[in-house]
Chains A and B, each alone.
Chain A
Amino acid sequence: MPPDDLSAETILIVDDEDSVRRTFREWLESADLGCRILAAADAESALLQANQQTIDLAILDWNLGAGSDGLQLLEDLALFNPDVVAIMITGFAHQATPLDAMRMGVRDYLDKNQDLDRATFLRAVRRQLERIRPARRERQLHHGLVAFRSAVDKVLPLVQASAAMTDPVPLPAAVQSLFRFLMRTTGAAAGALLVRGYDPGREPAEVCRVYGADGRPIEGPLAPFARSVAGGAIGLGEPNVMVQPDRAAATGAVELHPFEKGRRSLLAAPLAVAPGLQVVLELFDKQAPSSPLSPVSGERGRGEGDALDPAGFTDADRRLAAAAADFGAEMLRQALAERQTQRVLFDAVEAALGASDSVAQSLRGAAARPDEPPPQAVMERLKEGLGGSADAGVAGGETLRLAEAVRVLALRHGGAAVRHCTEMVESLRRLLDETAGVAEDRP
């Protein structure tokens, strides 16, 4: 067993007789127990070693000489590791006080004057290791989970920050810009963007949203998509014009949304964004070319100066809408991909936390599976999620490496080291901000 294997149990032999220590060490080494073996001649030396590494099993001489005894040493060792257990080597076992000794962690006695040979010794050691190992792995697992959860808690802000860094133009602003352009060029009086998503695995399966020309959601009841103008536009796959939609609605062939009613003309352009997602851009009521056009923010009021063009939308408007639909589809695809990336990341983190909860719960029962350390599996899930972050400003692998470094730092050196690390990162940020002339964005 490599001496630096942190998962190996540590056995400490404490005996003031050098020949005994050597013999015990030889017996243990020859048995190939997969343990780290340490030896000490007295209590002081034993405690020094316990200060440097966790002692799992102590093989203690009852009478260490110089006035100290093994039981007292065990009590001191327990200060370093409360779960330490011991095998007492004694020449006068009848003097032992079993109850106190058991309470302090003594699990076996070997009488060096009677039955202490290699076989007896190793049998006693193996018996204790069999008890120690599952409990020790369980503890390690638990500590790993605590560290992992702590790391995930630290990763989450990083993920959110990286998502914020790559956040494109906010959707409402993009929709507003698109409509401003279209309404200026076509002379439309108003517009709306209809988004319909269908996912049979969701409840409700169909979700419809409408945004006005100002990019803000339009609330209120909507006509069923299957009977809507937007549904008809999707079927044709290209921009089309309706004159006086109310007439078509009167035949029962279509149901109008409230904002479509009373319109003179309507130009609907479908946007091919993604499977299962139907998006239609609608423009309403083309104005006569001579009518003054003012900057548009939301729907314009139809006042005296806004003469409606009886001819309605033209082929040129249609071509323009087709081009805008292509652009809008690309814009929405990006927004959607960004949201999906973030969702994947958050789902991954959530799944990771859920998985660690589930492992923690299983640890409470006796059926823990120490051979399958969940932190690795959980990290794989997180890695997978981060891997899906194609658009992230910080590559998923980098984020994970940072999180892992923080986790190891926390595990080995505690919270103070993590705080120091955070301060270093902050200092670096300030330095770069100053160098690049970036304004301070928080107190």
Chain B
Amino acid sequence: MNPTPQADLFAEVFSLLTPERLLRDPRADGDGVTVCVVDSGVERRLLEEKFARQGVQIHPIEGGVFTADRPAPLPYDGRQSSPHGTTVADVILTLAPRVRLYSADVFGPVGTCEVEVVIRALRWAIDAWKCKVVNLSLGVPEQRMQQAQRRQQLQRAVEEAYFKDVLVVAAAHNEHPLTRSYPAAFAPQLLSVDKRLFTDPLQFAYEPREQIEFLAHSRGYLGPFAAEPATSWAAPHLAGIAARILSLRPGLKPFEMKTILYWMFQAAKNGGR
């Protein structure tokens, strides 16, 4: 009996399923993967200079500034609205320097952001920028998302991403599980990430707890509070890991990625197998 295509796929992937082989593969650098950072903008020049100093050539960062009153984003001038987004982008580029990065600044100069703007940015990242991974190191605490309609709108946008094979990585609240936040709590359709300190930034854990499934390294590398453990820095670590895997197999679907990450974690626990 001939193996099914799915069996082929998993046979191929599983043969690589040692964390070391998969993540340290020289081709696993994010190349060919488009990632969107929905955050407070990215300071392009700062990252270009940092990676240039390390001898790493990154793709030019593109993006837009999203506002509540415009359907399309304003042009991105390479500036951040606050340092948070740059720290997030730096984590992704540190793990997967060859990704093509888009900055969706949903805060802008006003410095505040509504759920509707995040939804708009998410859809724009999927439809206009054709991103394969979207990192959301932001969230709305549950108590501020009591309005069912707003919650449903956000969930619908996350589901749209899922059905378009786009991987959404969302940070849990820093006080998880005391405080739940959205969209991280929509765990089945996305990768929800809590914080933990690992010795290796490529390490992660799969420990489902109160709608959050993954834990990733939570220290950043660049920015005023990068050294502070935060879910904001954990999410881009997992996004970077996912981008590395996607550069090996770009067509992976979100549930396939979740399965691979699960098996990678199990394999690491079992001594690499």
Residues on A facing B (Cβ under 8 Å):
196, 198, 200, 205-206, 225-229, 231-238, 240-243, 245, 248, 251-254, 268, 275-276, 278
Residues of B within 8 A of A245 (CB): 224
Surface stretch bound by A, among B17-25, B79-87, B94-102: B79-87
Dominant secondary structure of chain B at its interface with chain A: loop
Residues of B within 8 A of A234 (CB): 82, 84, 111
B248 to chain A, nearest CB (A): 31
Residues on B facing A (Cβ under 8 Å):
39-41, 43, 46, 49-50, 79-87, 107, 109-112, 174, 222-228, 230, 232
Q: Contacts A236-B232, A238-B174, A278-B111 known; A253 to B222 CB distance under 8 Å?
A: yes
Contact status A205-B223, CB under 8 Å: no
Q: Which of B50, B83, B222 contacts A235 (CB 8 A)?
A: B83
Given contacts A235-B83, A248-B224, 4 further A-B contacts (CB under 8 A): A226-B82, A228-B83, A242-B224, A253-B87
Can you list 5 contacts pairing A with B, beta carbon distance less than 8 Å?
A227-B43, A236-B228, A242-B225, A245-B224, A253-B87
B34 to chain A, nearest CB (A): 24
Contact status A231-B109, CB under 8 Å: no
B138 to chain A, nearest CB (A): 8
Residues of A within 8 A of B222 (CB): 251, 253
Q: Contacts A206-B109, A232-B223, A236-B232 known; A226 to B84 CB distance under 8 Å?
A: no
Contact status B225-A232, CB under 8 Å: yes
Q: Contacts A198-B110, A252-B49, A253-B46 known; A233 to B225 CB distance under 8 Å?
A: yes
Residues of A within 8 A of B225 (CB): 232-233, 236, 240-242, 268
Q: How far is the CA of A238 from the CA of B179 in the complex (A)?
A: 13
B66 to chain A, nearest CB (A): 15
Q: Contacts A242-B225, A253-B46 known; A236 to B112 CB distance under 8 Å?
A: no
* Interface core residue of A232, A235, A236, A253 (most chain B CB under 10 Å): A235
Contact status A235-B40, CB under 8 Å: yes
Contact status A196-B111, CB under 8 Å: yes
Residues of B within 8 A of A225 (CB): 82, 111
Residue of A nearest to B107 (CB): A235
Contact status B80-A227, CB under 8 Å: yes
Residue of A nearest to B82 (CB): A231
